[in-house]
Structure 1
Amino acid sequence: MSIRFKNILFLKLSKIFLTFLIIIVFTISENLKAENITGSQTYDTDTNNTQYIFTEDDASAVVTGNTTLERARKLFILDDAERTGNTLTIHFGSTISTTTNSNTIFTDGADLTIVNSGTINSDVSKAINVSKSDGVSITNNSTGVIKSNNNTILGDAGTGAVNTTINNSGEIYSSGTGTESSAIVFADDDTGNTITNNSGGEIYSKGNESTIVLGASSTLTNSGSIKNNKSVTNKAIQLKGDNNTVTLKDAGIVVGKIRSGNGTTGNKLRFNHGVGRAYYYDTTGDFTLEDLDGNQVVKGSAGSVGQGGSETIDEMLSYKSINLRNFINRYENSNLFNHQGGWGELYSTILNRNEDTNSLAMEYNLINLGANLIYPLENSNFIMMFEGGVQDFAKDYKITYQNISGGINIPDNDKFFNLDTFVTGGITLKDGKRTVLTNTVSSGRVLSNSNFQTYDIQIGAKKNNFKIIPDIGITSSISVTPTYDESKFYSWRNRVVGNLSFYLSDNYLIRDDTEEKLNLNWALDLRSAIGDDEQTYSINGTTATYKQDNDLKREISLSASMNYEKYIYENSMIGFAYYGLLSSQNTLSLGGNAFYKMNF
């Protein structure tokens, strides 16, 4: 071997040894630069390369004052798997971070409570590793951010993690795009873990892996947003083991599929979005579906629709009938000009119906504006009615409508036992808009539109009594809504609804002279829906039938009004009326009329 070759070999071995020596010295130096946490410690100064180790039970550390603690590898760790009662708190504005392939917080099997209002970050690896732990608690407040370019919160290494509690009101996300890109991940045999994503909380990922992975016998409750931002065809929630429960609440959204692993059993998907909320979720695997509000959930994948537009047709038909009767009564009780000449009135009504969770009655507000016209003929009165309004349901469902109706009123009809009778027919054009919660679009919500018509007929008769005996009447009405499709998910079959009402009413004249009139009216109305009480519909092609609750088919209404009119010149008068209604369907209605009568 030549001397030159020996020199070259010596130089190469020297460089390797020197490099190895530098690594050893750097590692020793890092390990030597460590601080033990034995009691209550506060960190309010920026620090690099220091490792913080919980070496006693019931110790606590607080990072505050907009401080940044950063290290290449494990930043906060516990030195013993049996360590208990320790707490780490990061205040708003402060950051703890690691920059290489390691964990920012490593529980190493011990008990730790983490309360974060600042930022927990890992540039390369896990922000929090709870592997082998039992009972770790993580609270991420509204200003808190927990992020990594890998699996952000990991619980599936080694022997796994059990009984972990994660309560999120801030952001938990992974910006990774590789094979480790979940925001929260547990192994299929990790049990007893609980994840709660509160309103305003965001949990999301950007890779092909599931955003959240649950093990077995664990729970996930979402009122915020859980998103797989890579694609809506990727998984947002994956259940790897058995007997997990996922509850989707309030106005919370999910973007991406919900999957139960092959061969798993006992997994439940529950909905708690509120009575009448429309939703459709694309699911894979076997789930037991349950709506905690009592809404009908259709399996295929999982969907429900508020029945308000169909359920309240009989109620709206009843209120229209009451309005018509009150209008005719006001005309009959006004004897100015001996009922000669036309009569016209404008009116507006505000109605509120409260929610009833037992009968699934949806809450809504109704605001309308209309005009009624009547003109006497030889032995009858010709009637025209126009109305427009908005029926605004509580769960992001609104129907705008316009109605036109016409008919005949015959006072003292000698062909029908001398009763006051009327018959009218009309058409209502309706424009519906509902917001559907769905995991099939990137926003988590989609607007579904509908345009449909409702045709109705009203027939009534009344016996006018004298003195203290109230007038007695009966009204029958029928409504037909043809089949129609909404723009997203839902379609409806033809619906026929009928009402039969029996009522008592009376009028009290308070003031009556040649120039003005004041009277009070009341009416007690007992209504029952008749005919078919079922609605056939489909959700994304899966057919279902909704049967209206019996309590919604019957209604007792008590209404009262005060009417004032005044003669203004030779052949015309003006007036106004105040109107109120209470019903057994938890409705309260207040309205007003302004009317004008002219002898023409």
Structure 2
Amino acid sequence: MAISILIAPPPQAWAASVNIAVDTTLSTDSTADDYNATAGNITITNDADISFTGNDTLDLQGNDGITVINNGTISTTGSRAIDARGIANTVTITNSGTLSANTQAIALNTVTNFTITNNVGATITATETAINTVSSGGTIDNFGTISGTGTTAQTFQLGTSTGGSTITLTNHVGAVISSAGSSQAIRFNENTTIINFGTIKNTGTGGSLSYRANDSTVILKEGSILVGSIGLPIAGLTGIKLQIEQGFGQAYFYSTDLIGAANLTLEDLSGNTVVAGSAGSVGQGANESVDELLGLRTFNLRSALKRYSAFPKQSGKNELYAEPFSFYSKRGTNNTVLGYKAYGAGINFIFPLKQHKLDLLLSVGHSELDLQGGHDISRNNFLAGVNATDFASLGNFKFSGFFVAGMEWHNGDRDIYTNTTSTGKLNVTSDYTSYEAITGSHVSYSYSPDDKNTWKTEVGLTFAYSLIQDYEESQYFTWEERDFVQGSIHIGEELTSKINDKLTVTVGAELEHRTVLSGREQSYAINGTTVDYKQGSFWESTAAGRLGATYLMDDNTLAYVNIDSRFSNHTRGTYGISVGMKLNF
């Protein structure tokens, strides 16, 4: 007897193509099915995890007017998670989940009006090209992450039709477009505009952007990050632009390469000077503010000498005046000059040489300058010289003058945007020296209506000279030597009132006009390309007020406190305070 045994294989799930002809919501996970739209003007909403091993997980089959809303996952290990090729007019894809494929996550061609939105937290990923448009037009808004992960990845390939369609890609704040390949993160053809508020980067060996046809524009908005060179591999292109809007005074350096760089039009939309040769700009705050800050030092020194001249002098005794001081100054910004905050402290010493009717001066200080555009400068300085109080007189008119000279050491650092680092930013440092000389003279007229009050009117001239040596910052920026001369005229009125035998109060006001007499041009270079800078403001009119008090502690010690305020057509306000002491010994 023969016995036969039949063993049946276990049941298997076979892949099936699911057709969709009406508005449909997919809510069941699938690893075996692909989906085909068989009608136009429908909405397909996916809330499931749909993973496929073949091509075209969701195939729109050329039907017009389809809207795809993905809240889950649409993926394939083959090509095209969403195939939107062959659509004549419109298609809308909104991704709030995950779209992924081996070759292309989204593929379009011949679409005249597509809309792709990748929301916050959503991802679109492909080994090669995440989004590929051929002969199409439309808009892409990325709020999430779009990436190409392969070694030859090209995250975007944007191609418009020859009929005049346009593509606008906006990468919003916090959004990321990345590539890990040897090609570009974004390769784009004619009539394309790319607006970047977020991050576009290539973490591989390739570049960030590549211009491939005429009439295309890239706009880098304030705070945006770009990592990887800007490629221009085709010569003779027209209408290609790089527009940078990182903010007035913000420094940057974007490297461009290949043969078409000469055809790239560079524009800075924030009002900075942009330098070709790549695309670079550097804030001129240190250059623009040197005149104002030297004028502020001159004013502070002149004010200290006024206070000193008002102190009672004692014959037969040596005297030493020591005055600690501090100041704070803030300048607003406009379309020609950068804003800044400056603050510092120091001490003035005055030692009278009575036999020569001269005073020895020494002023030492430290200050910080915080410039608009992420540029900070720390400064240490000294001035030394002589003062001649009332060296000549004619009735109630008295003549005084002073001369000082010194040095200042500057240590700066600025944060720049650049596509040459892995972060898209770089801290650039500087170290340089300047030399200053200040001289001034004035005539004063004093009038005392009684034995307690004295009015004093003063008119004077002041001249200052500064020489800033040439220096190189740690990356990209080089500055040529610059020297300049400034001159000012001032008129002041002061009332000194003796309250009692120990306390005296002084109130004063001053008007000053200052201008740069020579040296208004600064030559500098960005990555070897030289520029002559002639902009900025070269004059300033100021009004200042003063309130001070002195107190006679004993026959050998006098203490005082003084508060200054100063306003100008440039600065919102400068405030200073000094507390000093005169010692007899």
TM-score of the aligned structures, taking structure 2 as reference length: 0.88
Q: Provide the residue aligned with 2:450 in structure 1.
A: none
Q: State the 1:500 CA deviation.
A: 0.7
Q: Which amino acid aligns with 1:436?
A: I
Q: 1:208 to 1:420 in 2, by over 3 A?
A: same
The 8 Å contact of residues 508 and 547 in structure 2, kept in 1 or not, is answered as yes
Residues 1:247 and 2:219 aligned together: yes
C-alpha distance in 1 between matches for 2:120 and 2:314: 71
Deviation at 1:37, TM superposition (A): 4.1
How far the C-alpha of 1:599 sits from its partner, in A, is: 1.7
Give CA deviations for 1:493-545 in whole Å, capped at 9, x if unaligned.
11012111111112223553222222222221111111121111111111111
SS in 2 for 1:335: coil
Question: Can you give the 5+ residue segments of structure 1 that lack an aligned partner in the other structure?
Answer: 1-21
Alignment of 1:458-469 (within 5 A): 458-467=438-447
CA distance in 2, matches of 1:106, 1:201: 24
Aligned residue in 2 for 1:400: 378
Residues 1:297 and 2:274 are matched in the alignment: yes
Alignment of 1:233-382 (within 5 A): 234-260=206-232, 261-284=234-257, 285=260, 286-335=263-312, 341-357=319-335, 359=336, 361-378=337-354, 379-382=357-360
Which of 125, 136, 140 is the aligned partner of 2:118?
Answer: 140
| 465 and 567 in structure 1: CA distance in 2 versus 1, 3 angstrom threshold | same
Return the alpha-carbon distance in structure 2 between the equivalents of residues 326 and 56 of structure 1: 85
Distance change (3 Å), C-alpha of 1:451 and 1:79? same
Q: CA deviation at 1:223?
A: 2.5
User: For residues 304-327 of structure 1, what are the alpha-carbon distances to aligned partners after superposition, in whole Å with 9 as ceiling and x for unaligned?
Assistant: 111122221111110100110111
Give structure 2 stretches of 5+ with no counterpart: 1-10, 448-454
Shift, 1:369, TM fit = 1.5
Separation in structure 2 between the aligned mates of residue 301 and residue 199 of structure 1, nearest angstrom: 25
Residue matched to 1:455: 435
Q: Is the 8 A contact 1:35 1:51 kept in 2?
A: no
SS at match of 1:321: helix
What do the CA deviations read for 1:282-318 (whole angstroms, capped 9, x no partner)?
Answer: 2131211111222222211222111122221111110
Tell me the residue number matched to 2:499: 512
**In 1, distance between residues paired with 2:494 and 2:45?**
76
**Residues 38-57 of structure 1 mapped to structure 2, 5 A cutoff:** 38=23, 41-53=24-36
> What is the one-letter code of the residue matched to 2:124?
I
* Other-structure match for 1:425: 405
Q: CA deviation at 1:137?
A: 1.5
- 1:78-112: CA deviations, max 9, x gaps? 3444x22x433344xx4332232333353642522
Q: How many Å apart are 1:241 and its aligned residue?
A: 0.7
1:102 aligns with 2:80: yes
Name the SS of the counterpart of 1:317 in structure 2: helix
Secondary structure of the structure 1 residue equivalent to 2:292 = helix
For residue 202 of structure 2, what is the aligned residue in structure 1? 228
**Change beyond 3 A, Cα 1:280–1:485:** same
Which letter maps to 1:249?
A: K
Deviation at 1:213, TM superposition (A): 0.9
Aligned length: 554
Tell me what 2:391 maps to.
413
State the distance in 1 between where 2:302 and 2:531 align. 37
Describe the superposition over 1:448-489 as per-residue Cα deviations: whole angstroms up to 9, x where unpaired. Answer: 221111101111111112356731111110100111112211
Counterpart CA distance in 2 for 1:268 and 1:165 is: 19
1:354 counterpart letter in structure 2: G
* Residue-by-residue CA offset, 1:9-29 (whole Å, 9 max, x unaligned): xxxxxxxxxxxxx99x95xx5
Higher deviation after alignment, 112-121 or 214-223 = 112-121
How much does 1:216 deviate? 0.3
**What CA deviation, in whole Å up to 9, does each residue of 1:190-230 have, x standing for no partner?**
64111112232211111111110111021112222211211
Change (3 A) 1:69 1:565: farther
Equivalent residue of 2:309, what SS?
helix
State the 1:418 CA deviation: 4.3
Of the structure 1 ranges 418-427 and 99-108, higher mean CA displacement relative to structure 2 is found in: 99-108
Q: Among 21, 38, 58, which residue is 1:76 paired with?
A: 58
Query: Does 1:544 pair with 2:531?
Result: yes
Q: 1:143 to 1:336 in 2, by over 3 A?
A: farther
Task: Tell me if the contact between 1:34 and 1:50 (Cα under 8 Å) persists in the aligned partners.
Answer: no
Which structure has greater strand proportion? Answer: 2
Contact 1:188 1:240 in 2 (8 A): no
Deviation at 1:582, TM superposition (A): 1.4
1:276–1:395 Cα contact (<8 Å) kept: yes
SS at structure 1 position matched to 2:297: helix
Matched with 2:183 is 209
Distance 1:383 1:469, change over 3 A: closer
Task: Give the letter aligned to residue 301 of structure 1.
Answer: S
- How do residues 152-191 of structure 1 correspond to structure 2 at under 5 angstroms? 152-156=130-134, 160-162=135-137, 164-178=138-152, 181-187=153-159, 191=165
Q: Does 1:389 align with 2:367?
A: yes
Cα distance in 1 between the residues matched to 2:109 and 2:461: 73
Runs of 4+ in 1 over 6 A off after TM superposition: none
Q: Does 1:30 align with 2:6?
A: no
Q: Structure 2 vs 1, CA of residues 90 and 390 (structure 1 numbering), >3 Å: closer, same or farther?
A: farther
| Conservation of the 8 A alpha-carbon contact between 1:35 and 1:50 | no
The 1:135/1:188 distance shift into structure 2, 3 A limit, reads: closer
Distance 1:274 1:599 in 2: 55
Cα distance change, pair 244–523 in 1 and its aligned pair in 2 (3 A): same
Counterpart code for 2:96: S
8 Å Cα contact 2:285/2:372 also seen in 1: no
- Asked whether the equivalents of residues 136 and 160 of structure 2 are also in contact (C-alpha less than 8 Å), the reply is no
Distance across 1 between alignment mates of 2:38 and 2:584: 98
Retained in 2: the 8 A contact 1:348–1:367? Answer: yes
- Per the alignment, in what secondary structure is the counterpart of residue 124 of structure 2? strand
Alpha-carbon RMSD:
2.6
Residues 36 and 52 in structure 1, CA contact (< 8 A), matched pair in contact too:
no
Alignment match, 1:578? 563
In the TM superposition, what whole-angstrom CA distance separates every residue of 1:54-96 from its partner, at most 9, and x where no partner exists?
A: 56665434445xx533333423343444x22x433344xx433
The equivalent residue for 2:7 is: none
Contact 1:185 1:214 in 2 (8 A): yes
For residues 125 and 422 of structure 1, do their structure 2 counterparts lie closer, same or farther at Cα, with a shift above 3 Å needed?
same
Superposition deviation, residue 277 in structure 1: 1.6
> 1:477, 1:541 → 2: CA distance?
32
Matches within 5 A, 1:477-556: 477-549=464-536, 552-556=537-541
Q: Tell which deviates more after alignment, 245-254 or 508-517.
A: 508-517
**Cα distance, 1:582–1:141 mapped onto 2, change above 3 Å:** farther
Task: Check 1:369–1:136 CA distance in 2 against 1; reply closer, same or farther (3 A cut).
Answer: same
Percent sequence identity is: 27
Of the three residues 95, 98, 110, the one matched with 1:119 is 98
